[in-house]
Amino acid sequence: MPSRLVRPAIHGVLLLLAAAYLVPLLVVVLNSLRSTDDIMQTSMIGWPRTLVWSNFSETWSHYCIAEHCSGIRPYFVNSLEMTIPATIVSTLLGALNGYSLALWRFRGDTWVFGIITLGVFLPEQMKLVPWVIVLRDLGLFNTIAGLVLIHIVQGLSFTTLFCRNYYTSIPVDLLKAARIDGAGFFRIFWRIVLPLSPPILIVTVIWQFTGIWNEYLYGVTFAAGEQQPITAALIALSAHISEAPLYGEQSAAVLLAAAPTLLVYLFGGRYFLRGLTSGAVK
Amino acid sequence: MSALRIRDVWKRYGLLPVLKGIDLDIDNGEFTILVGPSGCGKSTLLNIIAGLDTASQGRIEIGGRAMDGVAAKDRNIAMVFQSYALYPSMTVRQNMTFGMECRRVPKRQQIEAVDRVARLLQIEALLNRKPSQLSGGQRQRVAMGRALVRDPLLFLFDEPLSNLDAKLRVEMRMEIKRLHARLGSTIVYVTHDQIEAMTLATRIAVMHQGEVQQFADPDTVYNRPANLFVARFMGAPAMNTLPARLAAADGRLVAILGDGTVQLPVPPACGDLSQAGREVVLGIRPECIAEPTRHFDGDPANTLKLDIGVEMTEPTGAETIVLLRLAGQEALARISPDIRLQPGATARFAVDTRKICLFDPDTERLIA
């Protein structure tokens, strides 16, 4: 092939693949704007005859899930109440862990780090039973607080790994200077290390937020009824499809449930790549 | 009063000793330089003085106070790092006040201290900048400023000029010397650069393999090195060290070099006729071998004229370094740059024998 055609050919293939990848999203977006009649009479795949925006308001506040006709809003709120505190706390604790592991060497620190990061490789279904016991004993079964606790602890492996690897690029001399200046462990963290951390904190926040928001297994196992996060509630919603399919509203529900992570990606995606590849101090 | 006393300090990593019983006494107002090749333990010693590292054994006293278990922040010291270690997210002013803030110095005093030091170092215009907006030389100044606002008992410098380019390094070297003369502070300064050591120090501690080889003023270290290591480490190009045998000739002690073709009179300080017959290593600085018209100070009898084979010349501009074949061995000379010598030819040189040093070939120590 002539070399001047290589680049357009590559681009063409990539565009095709990207389009194929985006087709499901397109179908859902289109269906969220069609009436159920429209969908039933023609096909799941098609352009809206008229734009039906009411699918979103219906599904947000009136749609019935497991006999509760309050829409997906309460579940959406559950997810926010679970995801935001769990993201913030696991990120801050991860930063603190990473800081002490990277910059305050102590006997056995590499072992501690190894054991913490082992958590990254443990599948979550393996930890179901231990969590059942912990939540039962703490009286946190079927509460959002219980889910927050789970996600903080589970998240620590990742946040510690990210932050520790980032903080190893902070020169040790910086800490020595601060120690001579009279700063202690926490003052050095707040005044010197944390101000250097935005790149890696953005990475961990995005990672934690999307991970916790999208998490399904714990949500469906440890919460029931009105305590469920949105991922679990969506399944209850689709359980009705066989009886009375409401494709338009269901598509709108899926889009609303995916909106926060999509927004986080759109606004934070470039920081994500930048943060993963940058060092702390130029 | 002794500003810093170091007694039998050892540091071991596992079984490996990196400091082997260091003893140093440093007086108030002294500019002490710890110099040695990398890995000699000089930075470790500095960190131990600072309280950033702990000795395996031994004692440190600062201002007469034992430092056992005293944290770095409570030792009343200030330190300047090779990497400058400026806090990247703080302005220059905040960098300088951070320590005072930690020690709860009143705001007013902080401002006064920063103003005083900024004026001293001429960094007033930089106070609101971040370290990333500064050049290497400016960062170096700010790092010194951060140390100076404290007014400590002891300043510790850890290779502070190594990250600067050659020209700036010379400028800052002079500036540090001027500051020391002006403030009269006590400084312990680590470097691997023997020129820095010679130019700055009031006393030099030459370190090698975890031991202090010699602790003396620059003149003594340069002219009467305690052993062959010091002789070869201090000075560039290094001192010529040539195997020789002592003998008596005309009632004087002389050293017969290598193949026996060259005889050099030995200064009386190196020993008397009873040493005749002894094998030694003779040390002579390259600047003691020069063009024949050179007049060294003192008695002309101490200047010897010799014909020596020239192997190679290295003109540096200010002088020319000549590689010689002296009694079968390589030796260096420093001659006036105006003289052009042909490699392979034999030329006449003036040799200043006053500063010859003799070393024991087995112990490598100076024979005094």
Checking if the pLDDT of A192 tops 90, the result is: yes
- CB-based contact A31:A39 (threshold 8 Å): yes
The nearest CA of chain B is from the CA of A165 a distance in Å of 19
Q: Is residue B44 located within the same domain as residue B144?
A: yes
Query: What is the model's pTM?
Result: 0.84
Question: With an 8 Å Cβ cutoff, are A183 and B103 in contact?
Answer: no
Q: Within 10 A of B219 (CB to CB), how many other CB atoms are there?
A: 10
Mutation target to probe the B interface, by most B beta carbons within 10 A, among A103, A107, A180 is: A180
Asked if the model's pLDDT at residue A211 lies above 60, the reply is yes
Of B204, B233, B262, the one marking the end of a domain is B233
pLDDT at residue B368 in the model: 75
DSSP secondary-structure letter at B365?
B
In a domain, B368, yes or no: no
Spell out which residues of chain A touch residue B79, defining contact as CB-CB under 8 Å: 176-177, 180
Does the residue B364 lie in any domain?
no
What kind of fold does domain A73-277 have according to CATH?
MetI-like fold (1.10.3720)
pLDDT (mean) for A103-114: 90
Q: Per the CB < 8 Å rule, is A179 touching B89?
A: no
B289 and B217 within one domain = no
Report the relative pairing of strands B154-158 and B77-80 from DSSP bridges: parallel
Q: Are strands B252-257 and B203-208 parallel, antiparallel or unpaired?
A: unpaired
Q: Note whether B268 and B209 are same-domain residues.
A: no
Q: How far apart are the first and last CA of chain B?
A: 30
Question: Packing angle between helix A198-214 and helix A144-167, nearest 10 degrees?
Answer: 150
At A276 the pLDDT is 65
Tokens of B193: 């650069």
How far is C-alpha A206 from the chain's CA centre? 7
The pLDDT, as a whole number, for residue A265 is: 82
Answer yes or no: do A181 and B73 touch at CB < 8 A: yes
pLDDT at A233: 86
- Judging by beta carbons within 10 Å of its beta carbon (0-12, 13-18, 19+), is residue A229 exposed, middle or buried? buried
Phi and psi of A173, rounded to 5°? -55, -35
Locate B272 and state its tokens: 């008397």
Q: Do B79 and A176 touch (CB under 8 A)?
A: yes
B250 and B106 housed in the same domain: no
Instruction: Specify the pLDDT at position A267.
Output: 83
Residue range(s) defining the domain that contains residue B257: 240-359
Q: Is B139 on the interface with A (CB under 8 A)?
A: no
Interface pTM (ipTM) of the complex? 0.85
Let me know if residue B346 belongs to a domain: yes
Q: Is the pLDDT of residue B307 over 80?
A: yes
Query: CB distance from B54 to chain A under 8 Å?
Result: no
Digit-coded pLDDT (tens) for A71-90: 888 999 999 999 999 999 99
Band (pLDDT 50/70/90 cuts) for residue B281 is very high
Quickly state the pLDDT bin for A174 (edges 50, 70, 90).
very high
**Residues A1-35: tens digit of each pLDDT:** 677 889 999 999 999 999 999 999 999 999 999 88
Average pLDDT over chain B, rounded to whole? 93
Indicate if B124 and B42 belong to the same structural domain: yes
State how far the Cα of B36 lies from the Cα of B43, in Å rounded to an integer: 10
Range among A51-65, A264-278, B204-218 with highest mean pLDDT value: B204-218
Q: What pLDDT does A223 receive? A: 86
Mean pLDDT of A186-211: 92
- B228 has a pLDDT exceeding 80: yes
Q: Residue B224 is part of a domain; what is its CATH number?
A: 3.40.50.300
Which one of B183, B211, B233 terminates a domain?
B233
Instruction: Please check whether residue B11 touches A, CB under 8 A.
Output: no
Instruction: List chain A residues with CB under 8 Å of B99.
Output: 180-182
- B190 shares its domain with B217: yes
The model's pLDDT over A118-160, given as tens digits with 9 standing for 90+, comes to 988 988 889 999 999 999 999 998 899 999 999 999 999 999 9
Kindly give, in sequence order, each residue whose CB lies less than 8 Å from that of residue B342, ignoring residues fewer than 6 positions away.
B310
Same domain, B147 and B128: yes
B195 and B269 share one domain? no
C-alpha triplet B261, B266, B267: angle, nearest 5°: 160
Q: Structural domain tally of chain B? A: 2
pLDDT on residue B94: 96
Q: Say what percent of chain B tops pLDDT 90.
A: 82
The domain that contains B296 carries what CATH number? 2.40.50.140
The answer to whether residue B81 is domain-embedded is yes
Report residue B80's pLDDT band, with 50, 70 and 90 as the boundaries: very high
**Looking at the domain assignment, is residue B366 inside a domain?**
no
Q: Which residues of A touch B132 (CB under 8 A)?
A: 282
- Res A243: pLDDT: 64
Alpha-carbon dihedral sign for residues B333, B336, B341, B345: negative
pLDDT of residue A240: 61
Which among B202, B233, B264 is the end of a domain?
B233
Give me the phi and psi of A256, to 5 degrees please.
-65, -40
In chain B, residues with a C-beta closer than 8 Å to the C-beta of A171 are 83, 85
Please state the domain extents for chain A.
3-61, 73-277
B221/B311 same-domain check? no
Is B81 within 8 Å of chain A by CB?
Answer: yes
